Amino acid sequence: MTVALVTGVAGQDGSYLAERLLGEGVQVHGLVRTPDRLDVLPAGLHLHAGDLADTVAVAELVRETRPDEIYNLGGISSVAASWERPVETGAVSGLGAVGLYDAAWRLQEEIGRPVRVLQASSAEIYGSPDRAPQDEGTALRPTSPYGVAKAYAHQMAAVYRARGLGVSACVLYNHESPRRPETFVTRKISAAAARIARDGAGTLALGNLDARRDWGWAPDYVDAMVRAVRHPEAGDFVVASGRTRSVADFVAAAFAAAGIDDWGAHVEVDPRFVRPADPAEQVGDPRRAREVLGWGGTLPFEEIVRRMVRHDLAVLGA
């Protein structure tokens, strides 16, 4: 039986990944830092409490579970949080990832069979990119503590790959679902649209409405990660839709899905929600993921927003 270890299993991507792997008959071990949001996790999952920054304990977990596949989805989950906790971000999302690579490499050396690793990298490693769209060869120019930590982990994946560890990095652009917490702007928007539709009134405060992002559907990006970790040749893969939309576009689509035409009457710009550094545009080139991994791409933008709003309307009983 295939054994998998998933860090950050209680997050959006981790929960979708656990469902998929368990459905395939994989024995899944999940690392969780806190007991929050465990209600989204499927039955049959072996949970382990721990912190990625505790590299000694993580190495012991790897030795204990002896996984065939390791998916590193854990870490500080947002750019905004990384500005509040920059040192912790480096320790968890940067050094923690390297500790996991090293534990996987040592296990591989001990047992004499391959251990495959997937690093959930991020478009934030490109920061303010020098070209668009960005591909696997684009220069790393991170502009936030989150981006810097992810860039370090991304580059160290290549170092361990050269050492003989099959570690692939998926450079994930923004990907959404109803499992996003409301601390993320997309879920904040979809939940607000649902509440305003139910109540007939209300206001949504946002930051930069002109900021553009490349948005996809989280389960589709999980599929790319599984394909990458199982591909015979490890490498880097940009996972993106290849198209950008503005925050204002997301707002308009969400309010339309909730049956509200005049979204401008319900939205205000609040400087508190403007990032210290907000790149004008990040758009990924997913051609390598499509050609090498056979990845089928992602849902259309409008359908992603519709699914999120429908979920939030259902939660409210609207």
Q: pLDDT value at position 283?
A: 96
Q: Is the peptide bond before 145 cis (omega within 30 degrees of 0)?
A: no
Residue 277 above 90 pLDDT?
no
Amino acid identity of residue 263, one-letter, is: W
* Residue 72 pLDDT: 98
Taking phi first (over 0 means left), then psi (-120 to 50 degrees means alpha), and beta for anything else, what does residue 222 get? alpha
**Residue 192: what pLDDT?**
97
Task: Report the pLDDT averaged over residues 63-73.
Answer: 98
pTM above 0.85, yes or no: yes
Backbone angles phi, psi at 176, to 5 degrees: -125, 165
- What is the average pLDDT value for the chain, to the nearest integer? 94
CB–CB of 244/280 below 8 Å? no
Whole-number pLDDT of residue 110: 97
Whole-angstrom CA distances from 174 to 21, 103, 194 are: 22, 29, 22
Alpha carbon of residue 141 to chain centroid: 19
One of 71, 101, 146, 152 is an active-site residue; which one? 146
Mean pLDDT of 29-55: 87
Exposure string of 97-114, with b = 16+ CB inside 10 Å and e = fewer, is: bbbbbbbbbebbeeeeee
> 166: helix, coil or strand?
strand
CA distance 200 to 256: 14
pLDDT at 280 over 60: no
d(CA 161, CA 14): 23
Name the phi and psi angles at 269, rounded to 5: -90, 125
Cβ neighbors of 29 (< 8 A, separation 6 or more) are: 3, 4, 5, 6, 45, 46, 47, 48, 61, 65, 67
Predicted confidence (pLDDT) at residue 296 exceeds the cutoff of 90: yes
In this prediction, residue 37 carries a pLDDT of 61
Which of 50-59, 76-85, 138-147, 157-166 has the weakest average pLDDT? 76-85
Reported as a single tens digit per residue, the pLDDT across 216-262 is 999 999 999 999 999 999 999 999 999 999 999 999 999 999 999 99
Confidence label for 40 from pLDDT (cuts 50, 70 and 90): confident
Beta bridge partners of 267: 204
Task: Identify the active-site residue in 122, 144, 177, 190.
Answer: 122
Are 73 and 21 in contact by the 8 Å Cβ rule? The answer is: no
Question: What pairs with residue 284 in β-bridges?
Answer: 134
Identify which has the larger pLDDT, 300 or 273: 300
146 labelled catalytic: yes
Identify the active-site residue in 124, 126, 176, 177. 124
